[in-house]
């Protein structure tokens, strides 16, 4: 297993992405779109911290990008606005909460009776390599003993399954909505045949998750 650090700092991109998420939430379901963010590019320096390394800019996943103009900084690979439990894999202690959300359209609530890994979404074969990918969501907690954080599992053909865990953006106790994120660095030729998006909870309590995304930095 190869653990990757989570160095991504929340910056001016966050606000723009949240605005865009409200817009795309109305479309529902799994979307394949471009986020047009007005903020400046800021992610490439993070490549230096890649545990798997990166050969820099190059090909891969271009089929995902349709130019919407005006300097988009991130490309959305998958977006789950969560206005129902559709697609959510784990169901034990998991419910849809229409009254609590970051986007006004409900969220997934987990009533954890102890440590649990909540399996949220499985993306299957994604045509990407030679890029950073970022798993992000909105998280909230109430009376949480321990912590809750994002986990991304990336299956690479011939190499096995690797994980990225957002320890540094974990939430604890009682917290309002925050925007955790955890990255994974795909080297050239590392083209995942599956990506799984999970939520790890290390103790009992209530956790809400909303607005789940997988994105990558847009290339210049």
Closest distance of CB 81 from Ca ion, Å = 5
Which one among 54, 101, 141, 198 touches Ca ion, defined by CB under 5 A? 101
Burial of 1 (0-12, 13-18, 19+ CB in 10 A): exposed
Applying CB under 5 A, the span of 37-45, 76-84, 109-117, 119-127 interacting with Ca ion comes to: 76-84
Applying CB under 5 A, the span of 10-18, 38-46, 98-106, 160-168 interacting with Ca ion comes to: 98-106
Q: Are 22 and 214 in contact (CB under 8 A)?
A: no
* DSSP, residue by residue, 2-17: -EE---PPP-THHHHH
Closest distance of CB 57 from Ca ion, Å = 33
Contacts with Ca ion in 150-169 (CB under 5 A)?
none
For residue 209, give both structure tokens: 């998750």
Cα distances (angstroms) measured from residue 158 to each of 130, 144, 185:
17, 38, 17
* DSSP, residue by residue, 39-65: SPP--GGGGGG-SS----S--S-GGG-
Closest distance of CB 32 from Ca ion, Å = 18
Distance CA 191, CA 95 (A): 33
Applying CB under 5 A, the span of 87-95, 105-113, 140-148, 182-190 interacting with Ca ion comes to: 105-113
**Residue with the closest Cβ to Ca ion?**
82
Closest distance of CB 21 from Ca ion, Å = 9
Q: Does 21 bind Ca ion (CB under 5 A)?
A: no
Q: Are 34 and 65 in contact (CB under 8 A)?
A: yes
Which one among 9, 22, 41, 105 touches Ca ion, defined by CB under 5 A? 105
**Best CA proximity match to 73, nearest among 26, 31, 13, 149:** 13
Q: Are 41 and 220 in contact (CB under 8 A)?
A: yes
Which one among 17, 35, 37, 82 touches Ca ion, defined by CB under 5 A? 82
Q: Does 103 bind Ca ion (CB under 5 A)?
A: yes
Closest distance of CB 142 from Ca ion, Å = 17
Q: Does 130 bind Ca ion (CB under 5 A)?
A: no
Site string for Ca ion, 201-220 (x = CB under 5 A): ---------x----------
Total residues in contact with Ca ion, by rule CB under 5 A: 7
Residue 201 CA neighbour count, 13 Å, CB half:
28
Contact residues for Ca ion (CB under 5 A)?
81-82, 101, 103, 105-106, 210
């Amino acid at each position: 297993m190869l653990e990757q650090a989570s160095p991504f700092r929340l910056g001016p991109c966050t606000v723009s992405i949240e605005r865009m998420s409200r817009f795309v939430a109305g479309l529902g379901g799994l979307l394949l779109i471009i986020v047009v963010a007005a903020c400046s590019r800021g992610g490439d320096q993070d490549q230096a911290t890649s545990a798997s390394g990166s050969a820099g800019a190059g090909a891969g996943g271009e089929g995902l990008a349709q130019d919407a103009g005006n300097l988009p900084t991130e490309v959305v690979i998958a977006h789950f606005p969560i206005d129902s439990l559709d697609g959510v894999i784990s169901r034990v202690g998991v419910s849809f909460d229409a009254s609590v959300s970051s986007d006004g359209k409900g969220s997934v609530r987990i009533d954890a009776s102890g440590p649990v890994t909540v399996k949220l979404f499985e993306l299957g074969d994604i045509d990407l390599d030679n890029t950073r990918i970022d798993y992000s969501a909105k998280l909230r907690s109430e009376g949480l003993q321990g912590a809750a954080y994002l986990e991304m599992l990336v299956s690479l053909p011939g190499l096995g399954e690797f994980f990225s865990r957002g320890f540094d953006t974990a939430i604890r106790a009682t917290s309002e909505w925050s925007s955790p994120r955890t990255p994974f660095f795909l080297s050239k030729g590392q083209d995942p045949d599956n990506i799984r998006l999970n939520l790890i909870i290390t103790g009992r309590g209530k956790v809400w998750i909303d607005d789940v995304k997988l994105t990558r930095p847009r290339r210049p």
